[in-house]
């Protein structure tokens, strides 16, 4: 009885793109991007509130709340979006990295360290599975992160315009 040769994936489990996706999906704060819209927005809102708490004293030191309340509010608002922007950048880079690894037809990996990098050609079945994950799971996440970033940029631009008209 002749057995058909089975192509075994030589990539270590933790370096397989699908497993990287699963790990990212379950890790903090990267899972925020997979939440429903309300929960996702609430997480970013709390980051923004934390940004206000952290940057409020800087804004208060720069502009007296009693003498320049509008300047204080605009400046603190601009500073408070920095943590939100940094989290969005980190989320986007991480999700796009995993998406790129899933899209590629080959997987680069290391067996025991940085000095022994190898490449494995994905089987057609693995390629199809990975493309489905990218199309139905990762692309919607990246689209959401891009839209959120656009909203953040619009808020920053409008704050800057208000700042210029107030001065």
The CA-atom distances, in angstroms, between 99 and each of 19, 25, 51, 113, 118 are 12, 12, 29, 23, 20
Structure tokens at 61: 């030191």
| Per-residue confidence band for 6, with pLDDT thresholds at 50, 70 and 90 | very low
- Tell me whether residue 4 is in a domain: no
What number is the average pLDDT over the span 100-112? 89
Nearest-CA neighbor of 138 among 96, 105, 87, 104? 96
| Per-residue confidence band for 167, with pLDDT thresholds at 50, 70 and 90 | low
Classify residue 148 by burial, with Cβ atoms within 10 Å: 0-12, 13-18, 19+.
buried
- Tell me whether residue 1 is in a domain: no
- Tell me whether residue 23 is in a domain: yes
- pLDDT more than 90, % of the chain: 63
What number is the average pLDDT over the span 23-47? 96
Beta-bridge partners for 117 = 110
Domain extent at residue 68: 13-106+116-166
State the pLDDT at residue 113: 67
- Tell me whether residue 122 is in a domain: yes
- Tell me whether residue 7 is in a domain: no
Q: Does the structure show a pLDDT above 90 at 104?
A: yes
Cα–Cα distance measured from residue 67 to residue 28, given in angstroms and rounded to the nearest whole number: 41
- Tell me whether residue 121 is in a domain: yes
Q: Does the structure show a pLDDT above 60 at 96?
A: yes
State the pLDDT at residue 1: 45
- Tell me whether residue 8 is in a domain: no
Nearest-CA neighbor of 31 among 114, 87, 103, 113? 87
- State if pTM tops 0.85: yes
Count of domains forming the chain: 1
- Tell me whether residue 61 is in a domain: yes
Cα–Cα distance measured from residue 68 to residue 90, given in angstroms and rounded to the nearest whole number: 34
Residue with tokens 């057609």: 124
Enumerate residues 6+ apart whose C-beta is below 8 A from 49: 80
């Amino acid at each position: 009885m002749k057995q058909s040769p089975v192509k075994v994936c030589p990539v270590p489990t933790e370096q397989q793109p699908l497993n990287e996706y699963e790990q990212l999906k379950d890790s903090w704060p990267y899972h925020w991007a997979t939440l429903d819209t309300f929960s996702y927005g609430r997480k970013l809102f709390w980051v923004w509130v934390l940004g206000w708490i952290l940057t409020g004293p800087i804004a208060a030191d720069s502009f007296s709340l009693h003498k320049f309340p509008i300047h204080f509010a605009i400046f603190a608002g601009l500073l408070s979006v920095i943590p939100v922007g940094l989290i969005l950048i980190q989320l986007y880079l991480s999700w796009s990295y995993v998406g790129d690894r899933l899209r590629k037809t080959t997987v680069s990996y290391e067996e025991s360290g940085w000095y022994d990098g190898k490449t494995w050609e994905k089987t057609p079945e693995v390629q199809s599975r990975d493309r489905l994950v990218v199309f139905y799971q990762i692309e919607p996440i990246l689209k959401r992160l891009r839209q959120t970033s656009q909203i953040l940029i619009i808020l920053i631009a409008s704050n800057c315009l208000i700042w210029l008209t107030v001065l």
